[in-house]
Amino acid sequence: MIRINHHYLKLKASYLFSDIAKRVAAHQQRHPDPAVIRLGIGDVTRALPEACISAFHQAVDEMAADVSFRGYGPEQGYDFLREAIAENDFKSRGADIRAEEIFVSDGAKCDTGNIQEIFDAGTRIAIPDPVYPVYLDTNVMAGRTGSYRNGRYDGIVYLDGHAENGFIPGLPTEPVDLIYLCFPNNPTGATITADQLKEWVDYATANQAIILYDAAYEAFIRDDALPHSIYEIEGARQVAIEFRSFSKTAGFTGTRCAYTVVPTTLKAFSATGEAHSVHSLWSRRHSTKFNGVSYPVQRAAEAVYSDVGKRQVAELIDYYMANAHLIRQEMQALGYSCIGGENSPYIWVSTEKDSWAFFDMLLEKAGVVCTPGAGFGTCGEGHIRISAFNSHENVNLAMTRIRQALAS
């Protein structure tokens, strides 16, 4: 008799954004007009930068001729992209990361979910709350947790974020092996200073732990004093893996390109205490289970680092950050406490009410979709996340509708 992986039965009934999609679809059936404005899921709305489109077209044309056709590429990514990433995203900021330490993939979501496979099932996990659901759910699937009770899984060390600590959780108070961090944070938009990040690196060093650092939103940082990469911190090469994405930075949500950095100096240990290269293990996993990102997509990603590409990407980021500024300003004017929206495209709004009820109210009365904070963990209750990823026109209209809904 074939048996299922029983750990899947521990998962909540459905993924957060699936729940939201179902509620929105039901609302649209009841109220086809006016159109719903989506400020919930973090999907971009503007076209790819022209530099990326031109590179994309040129690469597709290469695929049309036998002499320039590309078949299977290197699973880790083409050298032209890996070298551009190393030079522009790390060496330019004083971070010692080499091209061979970069693994190109089809999404940071995939990599943050898959990376846990190379660690022992008994690994003790520390996960922030609120949190991007993928970190948690993939460890549930892998069998690292107990049952789901009272909004949390047994066997996970939760790192609480709340208004008092600015949604930057403190160090674990019990031993852990693998730590998930995300800054600028999804969902809260909170950012971390270099001194604060150094505390985490020092903790991981002292405890022979590894930090999984999700920096997918680093391009939205406006404060020059804030670190863009954990590798700007001394000692991080020995204790950290970093995840990056072109999805929000350059609009690649539908094009799919990201990368993970695994330094050759990073070690993990066998049951007998023998040190092993995490870089080698991830390379083995990546080569076995992934066939690489397509050549045209990687050429489009490379164009992000051209002079014109950098200008066009900066314009995209500025566009969305103008939306973020407006959302934060409007919600604060309505009397709500907010964080994010200054170095992040997400605005985390304290509603002091049931977050799903607030979500339903905005959907029904304003036709605006946000994300209920409770979907990100127990510490997210009483909050909503509003995304800046939409047009200026839609964001302005959404804020008008919200003002009217809250006044009625």
Number of domains composing the chain = 2
Regarding whether 95 and 175 lie in a shared domain, the answer is: yes
Final residue belonging to a domain, choices 251, 275, 307: 307
Regarding whether 345 and 229 lie in a shared domain, the answer is: no
Q: What CATH number does residue 370 fall under?
A: 3.90.1150.10
Question: Encoding tokens for residue 332?
Answer: 């604060």
Which pLDDT score, from 0 to 100, does residue 103 have?
Answer: 98
Which pLDDT score, from 0 to 100, does residue 13 have?
Answer: 62
Strands in 198-262 per DSSP E? 210-214, 240-245, 258-261
Regarding whether 166 and 85 lie in a shared domain, the answer is: yes
Residue 192: inside a domain: yes
Final residue belonging to a domain, choices 307, 334, 349: 307
Which pLDDT score, from 0 to 100, does residue 65 have?
Answer: 97
From the centroid of its chain, how far is CA 289?
A: 22
Regarding whether 326 and 188 lie in a shared domain, the answer is: no
Name the residue among 288, 290, 287, 281 with its Cα closest to residue 262.
Answer: 281
CA-CA distance, 398 to 340, in Å (whole number)? 18
Regarding whether 63 and 42 lie in a shared domain, the answer is: no
Regarding whether 254 and 154 lie in a shared domain, the answer is: yes
Regarding whether 225 and 343 lie in a shared domain, the answer is: no
Question: Encoding tokens for residue 271?
Answer: 């049951």
| Residue 296 and residue 52 in contact, taking contact as beta carbons nearer than 8 Å | no
Residues 313-360 have pLDDT tens digits of 999 999 999 999 999 999 999 999 999 999 999 999 999 889 999 999
CA-CA distance, 348 to 373, in Å (whole number)? 8
Which pLDDT score, from 0 to 100, does residue 218 have?
Answer: 98
Regarding whether 198 and 74 lie in a shared domain, the answer is: yes
Which pLDDT score, from 0 to 100, does residue 32 have?
Answer: 83
Which pLDDT score, from 0 to 100, does residue 408 have?
Answer: 79
Q: Give the angle subtended at the CA of 279 by the CAs of 266 and 156, to the nearest 5°.
A: 65
Regarding whether 34 and 97 lie in a shared domain, the answer is: no
Which pLDDT score, from 0 to 100, does residue 317 have?
Answer: 97
| Residue 324 and residue 388 in contact, taking contact as beta carbons nearer than 8 Å | yes
pTM > 0.85: yes
Which segments of the chain have a pLDDT < 70?
13-14
Question: Encoding tokens for residue 116?
Answer: 């846990």
Residue 1: inside a domain: no
Helices and strands, number each (H, E), in the chain: 12, 17
The Cα-based distances of 150 to 108, 144, 237, 341 in angstroms read 29, 18, 37, 31
Rounded (10°) angle between helices 307-333 and 392-407? 10
What is the span of the domain harbouring residue 358? 6-46+310-407
Which pLDDT score, from 0 to 100, does residue 14 have?
Answer: 66
Regarding whether 300 and 352 lie in a shared domain, the answer is: no
Regarding whether 184 and 101 lie in a shared domain, the answer is: yes
Q: What CATH number does residue 100 fall under?
A: 3.40.640.10
Residue 168: inside a domain: yes
Question: Encoding tokens for residue 369?
Answer: 């979709």
What is the residue type of 341?
A: G
The H or E element that residue 37 is part of is strand 37-38
Which single residue is written with the structure tokens 């607030």?
A: 358
Regarding whether 317 and 261 lie in a shared domain, the answer is: no
Count CB-CB contacts under 10 A for residue 14. 11
Q: Give the angle subtended at the CA of 165 by the CAs of 164 and 166, to the nearest 5°.
A: 95
CA-CA distance, 1 to 17, in Å (whole number)? 34
Final residue belonging to a domain, choices 307, 332, 357: 307
